[in-house]
Amino acid sequence: MKLLTNPIFIRMAAAFLIGTAAFVAGVLALRILRRRMLSDDDLTGNSTGQENTFYPYSVVIQQLKQQKFELQNEQQTQRRRAKTSEQITSAVIANLPCGVLFIAPNGLIKQANAAARRILGFASPLGLGLDELFRDATYVADSGESGRTVELLKDSLRGQLPPPFESRYNTVHGEERSLRVALISLNAPSAEGYGIAAVITDDSSSADSRRAQLLHSEISSEMALELRGSLATIRESAQQMCTSADQQSRVHLATDISAEAQRLESRVGGFLAGKAQFKASAAGA
């Protein structure tokens, strides 16, 4: 009892209890701190694993976006090139010296350049049908086959393309023209037909020259026959003069020879003048 009432013992006991409580509190605090540190490490490891898992997907998505951007740029470049090529082609066709017609599968004229409008005599044949444009035109193939140009063009739209042919065409103003026509089928890569293109050349001057040359050849043959007959007449008269003793008969025969020679000279002179004129017209054409 004296010990319990001793102040020193009481102080020592209180100090022991306080130290024990502090030790226990320190141990608990260390355990709590350790648990927190372990939980933080687990969270850090999980987040790193998730980042490692999502990184390949983000790379793939970025690559797909880059490929899409490059594809869009390539498509825009191709469209610009196609538009430029179309403009160049249109400019070349518009300034060709020969006529070019684009005929749709239904037989309507889709496009015609300036030369085609001039050759066919239409200010604008766009939208016209083949029956209206080539109403009375006829054709002659190299094989000798002939017929209506409209029927030949319609057969061409059905896939039966003929070789180049000549066509006799009358404009709305009544001018007769000789045309050389070549047909080209217009097909897309998908085998879809866009009609045909007709390349038309005006051979009217050449045809006129050929006809004039043929007529000149006929005149030359006729002239040769007349020359032969005149020479025979002159030879016969000369032989009669040599055998005749009558002076009056000789004078008459000499007059005949002179007249025949004058007629022959006039005929040959006209022929030579016509030949020179033909050469001049051929050179001008």
Where among 64, 95, 126 does a domain terminate? 95
Residue 183: the pLDDT is 92
Q: Are residues 111 and 196 in the same domain?
A: yes
Angle in degrees, CA 86, 103, 129, rounded to 5: 140
Q: Are residues 103 and 178 in the same domain?
A: yes
Query: For the whole model, what pTM was predicted?
Result: 0.49
Q: Are residues 214 and 278 in the same domain?
A: yes
Q: Stretch 48-70: mean pLDDT, rounded?
A: 71
Buried/exposed 113-135: b ≥16 CB within 10 Å, e otherwise: bebbbebbebeebeebebeebbe
Residue 268: the pLDDT is 64
- The pair of structure tokens assigned to 66 is 């880059």
Q: Which residues contact 7 (CB under 8 A, 6 or more apart)?
A: none
Query: Is residue 208 within 8 Å of 176, Cβ to Cβ?
Result: no
CATH number at residue 149: 3.30.450.20
Q: How do residues 135-189 score in pLDDT, each as one tens digit?
A: 889 998 878 888 999 999 999 988 888 899 999 998 888 888 889 999 998 876 6
| CB half-sphere exposure, 162, CA atoms < 13 A | 25
Q: Are residues 179 and 243 in the same domain?
A: no
Where among 58, 75, 95 does a domain terminate? 95
Residue 189: the pLDDT is 60
pLDDT score of 209 more than 70: no
CATH number at residue 225: 1.10.287
Residue 282: the pLDDT is 47
Domain with 152, as residue range(s), is 97-202
Query: Is residue 85 within 8 Å of 92, Cβ to Cβ?
Result: no
Query: Does residue 85 or residue 265 have the better pLDDT?
Result: 85
Nearest to 273 by CA among 233, 225, 203, 223: 223
Nearest to 260 by CA among 284, 238, 283: 238
pLDDT range class, residue 285, cuts 50, 70, 90: very low
Q: In the chain, what percentage of residues exceed pLDDT 90?
A: 9
Angle in degrees, CA 94, 96, 98, rounded to 5: 120
